[in-house]
Amino acid sequence: MADRISHADGIVRGRALLAAGASRADLRRAVRAGAVLRVRDGVYAVPGTPAPIIAAAAHGGELGCASALRARGVWVLGDDRHLHVWIGSRGRRFPHAGCRCVTHHDDGRSAFGLVGVVRALVQLAGCRGDEAFFAAFESAWRLGLLDRAARAEVRAGLRAGQRWLVDIARPDADSGLESILRLRLIRHGIRLVSQVRVDGVGRVDFMIDGVLILEADGRDGHAREAERHKDLVRDARAAAAGYETLRFDYALIIHDWPTVLQAILARLRDHHRTIGRRAGAGVALHVS
């Protein structure tokens, strides 16, 4: 019985087990012996099924949206305090202990387990907005979870005003933070080139106007400390080659965006003034 359940993403309806030949007495015995967990009336799981999948089944459906993407290793902006559960367009929500779930009702019939990447991304776009979607989309693409057909499917599932996000997405962003930085600057009318090789420095996240290097540091505090010397070497080499580097971490980009933007704009204004002086009077350069 447990074997049958584990083939069904860890969760199965009691009536499917009964239809497959188990008796009610078998089921009761299996639950008593701990071979099978009772999730709620008529729904069972095998021990070892991931807790979020069991909670989603208790709530009435499949792990979806941000939660399904996280479960697949995709970078998702924001906290994970809430479980996102898809119960289908006509599904029913069940009360369960500690429920703080966000319920998704989009079209279709849900089962148990985990929704697919395409549906989860479309759900995320509606649930968490452009930036969260864009970063997760680029992350899923980089992880090899989205082939061309899947990307087109996601695009078709979005509302018209969000489809351009798929069109500007790339598969080479190192972190979700990098995706968000790029999206915000594009929206600000700043043209930047991603993943540029600089002689003596290596690959940098972004280059603007051929002089300003931007690095989005998605590492946590510990990893960053260990790499600090390497960063300083890179910055010194970049400076020697005539570049300037600005580095931003998660806290700055997510919680103090105005500081980031002002730093970038000020540097670009300086650069354009310098070019203007070199080129002589009458050269008008504009940073939007």
Instruction: Please tell me whether residue 125 binds Zn ion under the rule CB under 5 A.
Output: no
How far apart (Å, rounded) are the C-alpha atoms in residues 191 and 241?
A: 22
Is 84 a binder of Zn ion (CB under 5 A)? yes
**How many residues comprise the chain?**
288
Segment interacting with Zn ion (CB under 5 A) among 15-23, 59-67, 163-171, 196-204: 59-67
Examine residue 65 and tell whether it contacts Zn ion (CB under 5 A): yes
Nearer to Zn ion, 65 or 136 (CB): 65
State the number of binding residues for Zn ion (CB under 5 A). 7
Residue 96: CB minimum distance to Zn ion, A: 5
Is position 71 an interface residue for Zn ion (rule: CB under 5 A)? no
Assess 101 for contact with Zn ion (CB under 5 A): yes
Closest approach of Cβ 104 to Zn ion, in Å? Answer: 6
How far apart, in whole angstroms, are the C-alpha atoms of residue 38 and residue 25?
A: 14
Which tokens go with 81?
């305090």
Judged by beta carbon, residue 39 or residue 146, the one nearer Zn ion is 39
Separation of alpha carbons 209 and 193, rounded Å: 9
d(CA 100, CA 119): 21
Q: Can you tell me the distance from the alpha carbon of 143 to that of 115, in angstroms, rounded to the nearest whole number? A: 17
**Residue 119 in contact with Zn ion, rule: CB under 5 A:** no
Which of residues 17, 44, 45, 59 is near Zn ion by CB under 5 A? Answer: 59
DSSP string, 119-185: HHHHHHHHHH-HHHHHHHHHHHHHTT---HHHHHHHHHHS-GGGHHHHHH--S--SSHHHHHHHHHH
CB of 59 to Zn ion, least distance (A): 3
- Give the pair of three-digit tokens for residue 169: 């997405």
| Footprint (CB under 5 A) of Zn ion, residues 202-221 | none
Residue 127 interacting with Zn ion (CB under 5 A) = yes
State the nearest-atom distance from the C-beta of 192 to Zn ion, in Å: 30
In the complex with Zn ion, which residue's Cβ is closer, 101 or 208?
101
Question: Which residues is 252 bridged to in the sheet?
Answer: none
Cα–Cα distance, 78 to 284 (Å, whole number): 41
- Give residue for tokens 């087109």: 152
Map residue 46 onto helix, strand or coil: coil
Residue 99 or 198: the one with the smaller Cβ distance to Zn ion is 99
Q: Is 87 in the site for Zn ion (CB under 5 A)?
A: no
Residue 155 near Zn ion by CB under 5 A: no
CB of 65 to Zn ion, least distance (A): 3
The residue (of 84 and 151) whose beta carbon lies closer to Zn ion is: 84
| Torsional sign, CA 36, 7, 118, 142 | positive
Of the candidates 99, 150, 211, 261, which one interacts with Zn ion according to CB under 5 A? 99
d(CA 76, CA 2): 33
Which C-beta is closer to Zn ion: that of 123 or that of 179? 123
Residues within the interface to Zn ion (CB under 5 A): 59, 65, 84, 99, 101-102, 127
